[in-house]
Structures are given as C-alpha cells and as structure tokens.
Structure 1
Amino acid sequence: MNVTEAVTSRRSVRDFLDKPVDKAIIERVLETAQRAPSGGNTQPWNALVVGGDALVDLTAKIKAKAKEAPMGEGMEYAIYPAELEGRYEDQRRAVGRDMFESIGLAREDKMGRIEQMFKNWDSFGAPVQLFTYTRKYMGPPQWSDMGMWLQTVMLLLREEGLDSCSQEIWAMYGTYMRELLNIDDDHIFFCGMAIGYRDPDAPINNFSVPRVALDEAVEFRGF
C-alpha cells in the first residue's frame, strides 16, 4: 500500500470485527510513527495503549460515568469552538446526519441516537484503544504536532491492514480519564483512538464523507 492508498482508504471506522490485534503490529506502527514531525523535535505526544482485561475494566467505568453525567464532566478543553459556523458547522452537522441515516436512525429517534453514541465507550467493538495526552503548558503548535503524530499512526495502521477511529469524545471526561489512566495533573488528556479491523459490510463504515473542493480551502499564488 502506498501513501495515497493509505490516505484515501482511511476513514473513521465505527464498527470493528471481533478479531484480535497483534501487539507486535502496534509496536511496529508506533515505533515508525516516532518519525512524525514536530516543531524543534519536541515530540510532545504521550500515549497509553490499552487492550484485554484492562480495556474491559476501563470501558465499564467510563460507561458508568457517562450514565451518571451524560453531558460530560471534567472537560479540560472544548472539543468544538462555541462560535463554530459557516461551512465548518455545516460539515460537522452533515457528517453526523449522514452517519445516522446510514444505519437507519431518524432524527426523531433520540434514544436510538443516544445508544449509537454510547458505542463510543465500547470502542465500536475494537480490541485496542490508544489514549493520547501531553503536558498542560503545551500550546497550539504542540497540539498540532500531536495531530501530525496521530495522522502518521493512522496511515501506518492502514499499511498494516488495520483501521482506526479518533475519538475526542473521551475528553468529555478528561479529568476522570486521567484518573483512570493514572496520568498526573501536569498533563492534559487529549483523545482516544479505537484500533482494529473494520467490518467492510457495515453501513456505518461505507457512507460517503465528502471533502470540500480544493479551491475552497487552498489558494495558489505566484504560479
């Protein structure tokens, strides 16, 4: 698989097969991903990879917390800006609408939508979670570096035939996640990433996720 194939075949997978992931593959991916760029070579990312009984235990605890505080508790950063508008908000709403429509959940089916969102806490059936965090004093450039590292991880997973779903939803319980993962107060929790093998037949893994035209996002000068 070349880089273009990895980029174009990557998507946020929300239905994984019940198939284990070899730890050696994850180690190989993460070892290679250490080559991801970062300003001044700071490499500001930190991560925990969780699977097996440890993930089962963490899943049970976060699901209990989500039932207790469904709107979140202890968030350490805003997942979306309050002033999100224009095409950015349109795109966010559209992908949510298309996702629910792909599995036949009508807008009026509030309980069905809640049940679907609750599948986040089960990692959509993936056997592995990668949780990312960094020092609290890190700024936007270092958060960008974390994003470049995560993207590198996702593309390398595709090379191995694996799939992923980055899940900022875990940050709704940021301080609790740090408690569960034994991350100290000098750090801030960023996100989770479900890792596994996609179910190729699941409708939720096959709906179209369009991108804006290049000229809406990029301007060329001097060419």
Structure 2
Amino acid sequence: MRRMDVFEAMATRRSVRGFLPDPVPRAAIVSILEIAARAPSGSNVQPWKVRVTEGDEKARLSAALHAAHDAGTVTPRDYQYYPRHWREPYLSRRRKVGWDLYALAGVAKGDHAAGHAQRARNFDFFGAPVGLVFTIDRDLEQGSWLDYGMFLQSVMLAARGFGLDTCPQAAFCDHHDVLRAHLGIPAEEAVVCGMALGRADPGEPANRLATERAPLSDFVRFGPEA
C-alpha cells in the first residue's frame, strides 16, 4: 500500500460524513494509534485515553445513542466546546459551513425533522466500521487539553497515511452518559469527542463539502507591526 507523505495527508484530511462498510484491519487501527501516540505532550504526560468500538458493540451503542437523541435527552457536556457568545468572524464561518453541509445533505432551512435526522447520523459514526471515543482525566489542566488536540490531529493524519478517512465528532458529548454506560467510562474521565474511522463513501453527497480556510493575511504577522 502506498503511504502518503505528511503534506499530502494534511492537505487531504477532511471530515467525512458517509463511510463504506469495509472493515478496517485491527493491525491498521493499532498502527494508527501507536504512531499518533508520538504526539507531543508537556512533560510527556500523554493525557489521551481511547475506546475503540466495532461490530455488534458499536451497533448497540448506536442504538442507545439514537434513542437518547430521539428522546431529546441531552446530558450537560463535560466541557464548554463553543463560545458562549458568538461574534465575528467566527459566527459567519460557523453559519457558512453549516448551511453548505445542509445544502449538500438536502436539508432545507427550517426543516427541523430533516436536521434532526442528519444530526442523528453522527450516532451511527456516519456508517464507519470503527468508532473511537476519546477521554481525559478531569483533574488535568488546559495544557493537557492542548496536548490532546495534537494527539487527535495525529490520529487523523495517520489514518490518511493508510488511505483511511475520519470525522471528529463533538456530538457524542451531548450523550456522554450513554457512552459511559456502554463503554465503561468512569466518572473521573471527561469525554473529549468521538471519531468515525473508515473509508469514505464516494457516493455520499455530504462528502463533497469543501470547507474554506482564511488566507494567511488574516491570521499571520511577520515582524513588528508597522
């Protein structure tokens, strides 16, 4: 199998929202997590913990998550992911990617039932054969959460090296009580996110989403300000 170089992996990484059912070999999952664990962390703390779910176990978990989603029962998240008060330019970026995705998925503005159904697809891991759930000990501080982000990116890039795709999913945090019950996650661990892992379905309309990136002039300064 041809392995991508790091530049190609970074350029082709995207959040995939439709996967083929093709199984991912256990050896590939192990290799991805082993290489991702080389991510840096302050004082080599290595704050990441991962649960891998596949097959019947994943199907049972998905069924329970769907039931919670349909019932509208949301558990307060272990941490605040988004800003409490949105402002520009972040609000416009959020709205654009949301409406671009919904347009591809066929969800019309104001169609709450279709929006509910589209969000529910998170809980099937978008059809991916492998689900990953990431947790961190609650007593670790912000620096360890920064380290965790580098680990998550490393997982996604390593997956690209195997020709696989991923979707990091904060949606699971709304039902972390369900995750705890099915995956044996103790109370002293906070749920960071989930992630779908597999091969992208080329026939999935949502996979045509191409997210924009701000130009360097928006966020980079060279040298002192004039």
Task: Answer whether TM exceeds 0.5 for this pair.
Answer: yes
**185-194 vs 173-182, greater mean Cα deviation:** 173-182
Answering whether residue 27 of structure 2 is matched by residue 24 of structure 1, we say yes
- For the Cα contact (< 8 Å) 2:47–2:137, is it kept in 1? yes
1:191 offset after TM fit, Å? 0.6
Normalised to the residue count of structure 2, the TM-score between the two structures is 0.94
3-state DSSP of counterpart to 1:166: strand
* Cα distance between partner residues in 2 of 1:59 and 1:176: 10
- Counterpart CA distance in 2 for 1:176 and 1:218 is 42
For the Cα contact (< 8 Å) 1:73–1:174, is it kept in 2?
A: yes
1:44 aligns to 2:47 (yes or no) = yes
**Alignment partner of 1:106 is 2:102:** no
Shift of 1:175: 3.3
Measure, in 2, the Cα distance between the counterparts of 1:175 and 1:142: 23
RMSD: 1.5
**Counterpart position of 1:179:** 181
Higher deviation after alignment, 126-135 or 173-182 = 173-182
Q: What amino acid does structure 1 have at the position aligned with 2:210?
A: S
Aligned residue in 2 for 1:35: 38
| Contact 2:64–2:178 (CA under 8 A) maintained in structure 1 | no
Q: Secondary structure at the match of 2:144?
A: helix
1:53 to 44, 52, 56: 56
- Give the superposition deviation at 1:179: 2.7
Unaligned stretches of 5+ residues in structure 2: none
1:12-54 CA distances to partner (integer Å, 9 max, x unpaired)?
0001012111111000111111111111111000011110111
Q: Is the 8 A contact 1:74 1:176 kept in 2?
A: no
Do structure 1's residue 141 and structure 2's residue 143 form an aligned pair? yes
CA-CA distance at 1:215 after TM superposition: 1.5
**Which deviations, in whole Å up to 9, do the C-alpha atoms of 1:147-202 show, x marking residues without a partner?**
10010010010010100000011001223322322111211111100001001232
Q: Distance in 2 between matches of 1:183 and 1:45?
A: 13
TM-score by length of 1: 0.95
Q: Secondary structure, in 3 states, of the residue corresponding to 2:133? A: strand
Q: What is the identity, as a one-letter code, of the residue corresponding to 1:142?
A: S
Structure 1 residue 163 corresponds to structure 2 residue 160: no
SS in structure 2 opposite 1:65? helix
% identical aligned pairs: 38
Q: Secondary structure in 2 aligned to 1:47?
A: strand
Distance 1:83 1:180 in 2: 33
Contact kept? 1:74, 1:175, Cα under 8 Å: no
* Aligned partner letter, 1:207: L
Structure 1: how far apart are the matches of 2:69 and 2:112?
A: 16
CA distance in 2, matches of 1:189, 1:12: 20
**Rounded Cα–Cα distance in structure 2 between residues aligned with 1:80 and 1:207:** 22
Distance in 2, Cα, partners of 1:190 & 1:153: 14
The count of residues paired between Structure 1 and Structure 2 equals: 222
- State the distance in 2 between where 1:190 and 1:202 align: 27
- Residue matched to 1:131: 133
Once residues 96 and 173 of structure 1 are traced to their aligned partners in structure 2, the CA distance between those partners, rounded to angstroms, is: 21
**1:175 and 1:189 in contact (8 A); partners too:** no
Q: Which runs of 5+ in 1 are unaligned?
A: none
